[in-house]
Amino acid sequence: MRPYARITGTGSSLPPQRLSNADMVALLAQRGVASSDDWIVERTGIRARHFAADGVYASDLAAQACRSALAAAAVEPQQVDLIIVATSTPDMVFPSTAAILQHKLGIAACPAFDVQAVCSGFIYALTLANALIQTGSARTALVVGAEVFSRLLDFNDRSTCVLFGDGAGAVLLQASETPGILATDIHADGRYSDILCVPGHVAGGQVLGRPLLKMDGQAVFRLAVEVLEDTARTVLAQAGKTAADVDWLIPHQANIRIMQSTAKKLKLPMDKVVVTVDQHGNTSAASIPLALDHAVCAGRIQPGDTLLLEGVGGGFTWGAVLLDF
């Protein structure tokens, strides 16, 4: 019988520097860019975000989140036999942030690699780890989303720079005889690669292109609302469940209006939706595991609860995971 994969521990990490909307408005004003707390909250639901200090990398935030997840599961680092890091802001071109994280955790020899699916990255990484555990290739996996997105922001573009923040979230996924992950669903459509991207690259020792985030907000909103409903219904159908069976919806924390629209389409009340976007902003691949850990630590999510995780990101990528916690 193939093993199941269950989450046995969660952890998260946020940089100490917290910027309220007032802080962001003041920062933009220094550049001659006008904004306001009301404008940001009305359009996004965001009230604050965290930025990493100079010299702090995605692997540093990931290591803190992983140590918390390991402690929550009472598992020693040496028991880990797989590390997958979802990030769009790696420490360097190569080696992978996962390999650097492995060293920082004092783990040796197990496979470690990155997944780049932007804000859907954690869903992709969790799907891969689940498959590897089911095939017997791994038994104890750290699955991490870690980002320092503040370093990709154009602070002359108020429509994007107020949206994003830095952080990391991690889960420990272990083989089990008891069902945990019930269904997964991941997709990509490169036709929409230009609506959310960072069009820069390194060549000949120079950065070519523009290595700052650009986004067509309206196009992203329209597509996100459509695909989030579809992928949610897909995993529910795979597991033989309906939205009424979901105890908690944990969506990618991008925009409160997208989250409200998805919940409405699934006929889920907002009191069943985990919301952290107001305090963390959009932390890309870190947003879902960050929200999960905060809800677990607050005692809202309990063992046996059914969780629906879903995200969308640049690529355009999207997907969902349904699991029993």
- Answering whether pTM is above 0.95, one says yes
Domains of the chain plus CATH, in order, are: 4-177 (3.40.47.10), 182-324 (3.40.47.10)
Residue 109 CB neighbours (<10 A): 8
DSSP 195: G
Task: Label residue 188 by pLDDT band (50, 70, 90).
Answer: very high
For residue 231, CA distances in Å to 127, 196, 200, 312 come to: 13, 20, 30, 10
DSSP 96: -
pLDDT of residue 279: 98
- Provide the strand spans (E) within 240-287: 248-251
Q: How far is it, in rounded angstroms, from Cα 98 to Cα 143?
A: 10
Q: How far is it, in rounded angstroms, from Cα 141 to Cα 69?
A: 11
The residues assigned a catalytic role are: 119, 252, 282
pLDDT of residue 143: 99
Output the six-digit token pair for 76.
């020693």
Indicate whether 101 pLDDT > 90: yes
- Provide the strand spans (E) within 129-215: 140-148, 166-176, 181-188, 196-197, 200-203, 206-209, 214-215
pLDDT of residue 1: 81
Q: How far is it, in rounded angstroms, from Cα 159 to Cα 230?
A: 27
Task: Label residue 119 by pLDDT band (50, 70, 90).
Answer: very high
Residue type, 23: D
Residues 6 or more apart whose Cβ sits within 8 Å of residue 316: 188, 189, 190, 191, 192, 193, 195, 196, 223, 227
Q: For residue range 159-169, list pLDDT tens digits in order.
A: 999 999 999 99
Percent of the chain with pLDDT over 90: 99
